[in-house]
Structure formats: structure tokens, C-alpha cells
Chains A and B, each alone.
Chain A
Amino acid sequence: MMDLAVRDIRHDLGRFVLTALGLGMLLSIVLAMTGIYNGMVVDATVLPDTLGADLWVVQRDTKGPFAESSRVPLRLAERLRAVPGVSRTRSYVSFNVQRTGVDGRVQRFMLAGLSWPDDTGDLLLLAQGRSLRAPHYEVVVDVSLGLPLDAQLSIGRDVFSVVGITSGMVSSGGDPMLFVSVADALNIQNDLSNEALRLEGEARLARVRRSEYGRDPASLARAGQPRLPALTPPPVNAVLVDVQPGQDPVALRQRLEQWPDISVYTLEEQRALLVRGVIDRARRQIGLFRTLLVVISAIVMGLIVYTMTLDKMHSLALLKLLGARRGVILRLILEQSMLLGLLSFFVALLIGELLFGHFPRRVLVADSDRLALAGVVAGISGAAGLVGLRKALSADPNQVLAS
């Protein structure tokens, strides 16, 4: 039996291709939503995954630096290093920075501190350059910031030299990440203006004058010096703990949890907090939007196949008059619906290949997602075909005689 579906498509190929293009664009949005959804999860977890610590030690009763404000003393890292079973500790600090670049455009990024010299950034996914070799004024930036190697970057009062470029290191908000030493990060975070420093010095002098030390001229002189540290060392957000080989991180965590001033999370718990907490609303919103798009695609495709069937009602009536079996009509309608779905699917894949890389945020489409979309498209095509088939089987041979 000749392939009627292919012959009908061939007869009006332009219309069929344009329809598939339109439908393919719709499906590409479904694919994009899936990719953005995946990308969001990867973006959210790329930092803890890259840093790779076994335990995250944070301020007591907080969920850690990615969920809420967490402040722990800088010296906590040394206390933890003394615990049996701990092989390495690293202080961690991160915060968002928004600045205006030399071209006048607003740059937004997340600055993270590496616990130099214990952590120079060797674990970072470096695409170019090197990790940190000096405790100050060196920075590793993500490629999405658009800076080349050896570029000079002014942050706060200091100028940093770009020594390395990472790929795919972004925050849960999709902003590029920059890595400097913890000391530099704390300097930037706690930088005070001249006016603030002067007021701080005066306040300190006033406090000394009111105390018994105010009667000692030497103490008064020391208190008035601007270089005297005004406060205790600034806190960091967390301490990353690596467990010695053969040690159980969970057991170590249970021991550390007995300390009154900290909470401890495993890497998996930190990841779960990020995925289920920080990006949960966005994730669910994208999930719902994706579901809505699938439903819309199904309705649109059903209408297209129905309209294609309406256009053929006279031919279908003629086929019935000539004695064609139902299978002939069933094959015609379902095959066209499936071919439309197939072509649309490949259009969606092609659009994805061409465009998703240019999206401002990571769009991560896995083979399993493509396979899932193929399944969805097959389902939609089948359902749309059934809608068309229902109409097709109602074709009345009398129409041919009446025409």
C-alpha cells in the first residue's frame, strides 16, 4: 500500500515544514526549561561540589552560608584542626559584590575566600592560568565575567590581578564567582571608609578616657593610633573540614555537634539545603512552567492534526467510498501526526544545539532529558493523532456523492 501520509505531506511540504518549525520552537522552550532547571541545580551545587569538603561547620542553629547568615570565628579552623580524625580545615567566606565596570556596565559576582595557603584553589575547574600563589591581590575569576588573564580588577580599595580563569563556576543565582584569599575577602568585606575609621578611632579614645586607663597618657596615645585594630578579627561564614582517610564523616560530625557554638552538615546535606531550600521556589516555578508548556504543546499539536484532518475530509470520504479499510485511514492520520512530532522534535534539538549555549545562565540538557522529551512528543503525537482519527472516521462517503 502506497504511503498516503508521506504523499500528502509532499503535496504541501512548505506548510508541513513551517508547522513543524513552529511546533519545534515550542518544544525547544520545553527543552530549555528542562535545561535551565538542571542548570540551576548544578549552579547551586557547583561550589560545594568543587570545594569537596566532607563537613561544613557553621554558626550554631543556622543552615550555613548558602541559606542564611552564618558567622564563625576565624580561629575555629584551628580548633577543628586539633580534633582527631580531621585532616584539613579551611575557612570559608563568600558574599555578593556589585560594581560598575570600566565600560559602565554593572558587574555582579560572588566573591569567595580561599584559605590560603592550605587552599590555593587547586580544586577549581581552571580553564586558563593558575591557582593563587600569593596571599594577596591575586584573583581567579570565572570565564562568564569576561575578563582575560592578567587583567587588573579593582575591588574595594585594592587592585587584583587575574591569574586564573575557571569555567562554569557560578553562584546559585547564576552570577560568576571570583576567588581570592580569605584575608583579602575579609578585607574587602570589612573595608571601612576614612570617615568611618576616624569615627571609630575617636570612639575608642573616648572609651579609654572614660576608663581607668584614661588617666595614663601612654594608653591614651596608643588608643589614638589609627592603625590599632578596632575589633576582634572579623568572622568567616564557615569552616570546611576534610576527614582523614578511613574516618567516618558522620561519626566525626556527631562528635562536633556536641560543641555548643556550631552546627555541622555533611556535603550531601549542604547540597540538599541548596537544592531544596535556596533554589526551591525557582525550581518548582520552572517545573510548573515546563508542565504548562507540555500541555500547551499537546493542545496546539492536537489542533494542528485536527485541522490537517479537516482539510482532508473529502479525500477521506472518498477513501471510505472506495472501500478502504479503517487501517488505511488510521495509518494516514497517525503517521502524519508522528512525522510532525518527529520533525518538531528534531527542530527543538537543533534549536537547543544552536542557541542554548548563548543563554546567560547555564542550560544543561542531558541525553535522558532528550529521551524524555522524545517520549513526551510521541505521547502528544499519539494523542493528537487520535483526535484527528476520531474526526477522520466520521467522514461520510455520501459527501462524495453530494459534491
Chain B
Amino acid sequence: MTEPARRTVVSAENLSKTYGEGALRVEALKPTSFEARAGEVVAILGPSGSGKSTLLTILGLINAPTTGSLRIGEVQVIENALPRTSLERQRRQQIGFVFQRSNLIPFLTAEENVRLSLEIDGVNAYESRKRARALLENLGLDKRLLSLPAKLSGGEAQRVAIARALIHRPSVVLADEPTASLDSSRGRQVMELFRDAAHAQGAAVLVVTHDHRTLDLVDRILEMEDGRLTERARAPGAGRSPA
């Protein structure tokens, strides 16, 4: 394992989330601590309603936790209660998002959807176009650069979404069921893309998934049940080591 791969890029301590008060109080996320290192692909498993989405929205700096602290990269993003504008900056610089549906902006071409992640952070059009084209060509989408999302297949759209999540070299990629709408073969391709990107960019990839077919491609598995996160022990040799 290379040196950057060992760096801790996500560090959560005692994160919890509670909704409502009194009799209506619901503890969606019980105090949870975990770390993710650069180059790691971590799967988060759990049934519906177990708190996976709550954890994802907290890690994605969309919702604030009730308690706990969170560090992404070098920035203590939660404990310091960063203002809204700083959270936005952390989101566009440190985090990449991938969803079950590609969630591409329908009026932008594949290339523009990828460029968007760079340009909202102030990268100029020439530079963003160059980087977006290079990444999309790497993902085998060189003939689809100018296609609108409606003209892309499910797999192509998801690869564009992954390119959008990776183009700005985030510290962490949060993926919510990214293979759920793909067949087995395409699902594996997507997970392999995550692995390659994690290793190449030194990012931690946290994948919320129900898809057990691709678990052999992840480095660690965290299980979530009733708002509590636990690490599943793996058989020796299970999963792949980073290349």
C-alpha cells in the first residue's frame, strides 16, 4: 500500500442524529465512530430504515449531526460549526457524490455535467473542458461527450456521474446504491471504477449498497442496524488489496 493510501481522510467520532422530542424522539443514528483511509473502498450495508441515508447526509455535510465531530481531509467540518458558505466549499472541494440514479442535469451534455463540478469551484472553462474530456475518455465515453443525459444508456449515465464525482479529486466519494439500477456486469464495472479511482486519487469511497454481488471488490464492510454502525469481520483474503 502506498503512503497516501494510509492517510485518514474521513474521521467521525460519536456522530449521532436524533429527530423529534419527548415521546416522538427518534434516534436515527446512534453514537457512531469510524475512520476511512485514502484509497479505501468501504461498503455500508444495512436494511431500509437502519440509518444509512442519515449517515450519508451527515457525511455529505447536508444535515448536521445532533452530537459528534467529523473531519474530512484536513478540515474539522462539524465540530467547528463551519458557516454555510464554508460547508458549500467543503462539499464542492472535498466530496464527490454518486447516486442510485445518475442525477445528471438534463440540459447539460455529458461533458458539461462533468465540467460543472470544476466550474462551480472557479476552474476556467478551458481547463475544465480539458480535464473532463480526459476523464470521460478514460471511462470509454469519448464518443458521448456531447450527448445529453436522455440519450445515454443507464451504464453510460452512471459512468458520467462517477466522472462528475471524481473530476475535482475529492477526499471522499459518497455513493448511495450506485449499482442498484445496473445489471451484474455493469455493477461490477462501476465498483471497479470506484476502486481504481480510490487508489489513483487517494480518495476514500464510502458505498451504501444492498448489492452483495460486488462486496468482494470492497476493502471493508460496515453494517448498520437500528442506527448503530459495526464493522463486519471478513474472512482472511476476502476482498482485494489495492493494487
State in angstroms the CA–CA spacing of A385 and B99 once bound together: 31
- Asked, given contacts A2-B119, A398-B63, whether A321 binds B107 with beta carbons under 8 Å apart, the answer is no
Residue from the list A1, A11, A324, A400 in contact with B107, Cβ < 8 A:
A11
State in angstroms the CA–CA spacing of A179 and B89 once bound together: 79
Compute the total of residue contacts between A and B using a CB distance below 8 Å.
76
Task: Kindly state whether residue A319 has any CB partner on chain B within 8 Å.
Answer: yes
Which residues of the other chain, B, contact A321 by a CB distance below 8 angstroms?
60, 62, 91, 97
Q: Is the interface of A mostly helix, strand, loop or mixed?
A: helix
Give the A interface residue count (CB, 8 A): 25
Q: Are B112 and A7 in contact (CB under 8 A)?
A: yes
Task: Kindly state whether residue A325 has any CB partner on chain B within 8 Å.
Answer: yes
Task: Kindly state whether residue B144 has any CB partner on chain A within 8 Å.
Answer: no
Give residues 89-148 of B contacting A (CB, 8 Å).
Answer: 89-93, 95, 97, 99, 101, 103, 105-108, 112, 115-117, 119-122, 125, 148
Q: Are A322 and B116 in contact (CB under 8 A)?
A: yes
Q: Are B148 and A322 in contact (CB under 8 A)?
A: no
- Asked, given contacts A2-B125, A318-B105, whether A323 binds B57 with beta carbons under 8 Å apart, the answer is no
Q: How does the 8 Å CB contact mask read for A363-403 relative to B, with 1 for contact and 0 for none?
A: 00000000000000000000000000000000001101111
CB distance from A8 to the nearest CB of B (A): 4
Interface hub of B60, B107, B121 (most chain A Cβ within 10 A): B107
Q: Are B97 and A2 in contact (CB under 8 A)?
A: no
Q: Are A323 and B63 in contact (CB under 8 A)?
A: no
CB distance from B170 to the nearest CB of A (A): 10
- Asked, given contacts A321-B91, A398-B62, whether A403 binds B120 with beta carbons under 8 Å apart, the answer is no
Task: Kindly state whether residue A222 has any CB partner on chain B within 8 Å.
Answer: no
Q: Are B62 and A328 in contact (CB under 8 A)?
A: no
Q: How does the 8 Å CB contact mask read for A312-346 relative to B, with 1 for contact and 0 for none?
A: 00110011111111001000000000000000000
Interface hub of A4, A320, A321, A398 (most chain B Cβ within 10 A): A321
State in angstroms the CA–CA spacing of A8 and B116 once bound together: 14
- Asked, given contacts A322-B117, A323-B89, A324-B92, whether A2 binds B99 with beta carbons under 8 Å apart, the answer is no
Residue from the list A11, A325, A402 in contact with B88, Cβ < 8 A:
A325
CB distance from B173 to the nearest CB of A (A): 13
State in angstroms the CA–CA spacing of A1 and B115 once bound together: 9
Residue from the list B91, B99, B103, B112 in contact with A323, Cβ < 8 A:
B91
Task: Kindly state whether residue B172 has any CB partner on chain A within 8 Å.
Answer: no
- Which 7 residue pairs are nearest across A and B when measured between Cβ atoms? A323-B92, A11-B107, A323-B91, A8-B107, A323-B88, A324-B120, A315-B105
Name A residues whose Cβ lies closer than 8 Å to a Cβ of B: 1-2, 4, 7-8, 10-12, 314-315, 318-325, 328, 397-398, 400-403
A-B contacts, 30 of them at CB < 8 A, read: A1-B119, A2-B108, A2-B115, A2-B119, A2-B125, A4-B108, A8-B107, A315-B105, A319-B105, A319-B120, A320-B88, A322-B91, A322-B97, A322-B116, A323-B88, A323-B91, A323-B93, A323-B95, A324-B88, A325-B120, A328-B120, A397-B60, A400-B97, A401-B53, A401-B56, A401-B60, A401-B62, A401-B99, A402-B53, A403-B103
Name B residues whose Cβ lies closer than 8 Å to a Cβ of A: 53, 56-57, 60, 62-63, 85, 88-93, 95, 97, 99, 101, 103, 105-108, 112, 115-117, 119-122, 125, 148, 164, 176
